[in-house]
Amino acid sequence: MTRNSLLLIALIGIASCKNNRQDNTPPVQKDSTMTAPAAAKPDLKGLTFAYQKDPACGMPLKAGLEDTASYKGKLYGFCSKECKAEFLKSPDSYLANAK
């Protein structure tokens, strides 16, 4: 057999396996009105924070509060998940500079 014949046999085998697949999953039809469910935001109002500013960036918490973290028994508020992540890398250094 020549190399072209072997290649042809291999391609036919692959194609026949693909056609005999027993996938009973119906195809997903996208609808332009479909949207992902909105994530529920936790109610962070009424909490008492150790500082009235985001310790990572200094933004006042009344301007926007997205997340919280507890550290050494105190609750800290953050304007974003990114600020919280930065704070958690080295909380003591941020708290030393927070006022």
The predicted structure's pLDDT at residue 47: 84
Q: Bridge-partner residues for 68, per DSSP?
A: 77
- pLDDT digits 0-9 by tens, 47-97: 889 989 999 999 999 888 999 999 999 999 999 999 999 999 999 999 998
Please report the pLDDT score of residue 14 as a whole number. 57
Residue 13 φ/ψ, nearest 5 degrees:
-65, -45
Q: Give the largest CA-CA distance in the chain.
A: 82
Query: Which residue reads 């953050």 in tokens?
Result: 78
Total-model pTM? 0.56
Q: pLDDT tens digit string along 7-42? A: 556 556 555 544 554 556 566 555 555 555 555 666
Question: What's the token pair of residue 95?
Answer: 């708290």
Q: Are 46 and 91 in contact (CB under 8 A)?
A: no
Task: Please say whether the beta carbons of 84 and 98 come within 8 A.
Answer: no
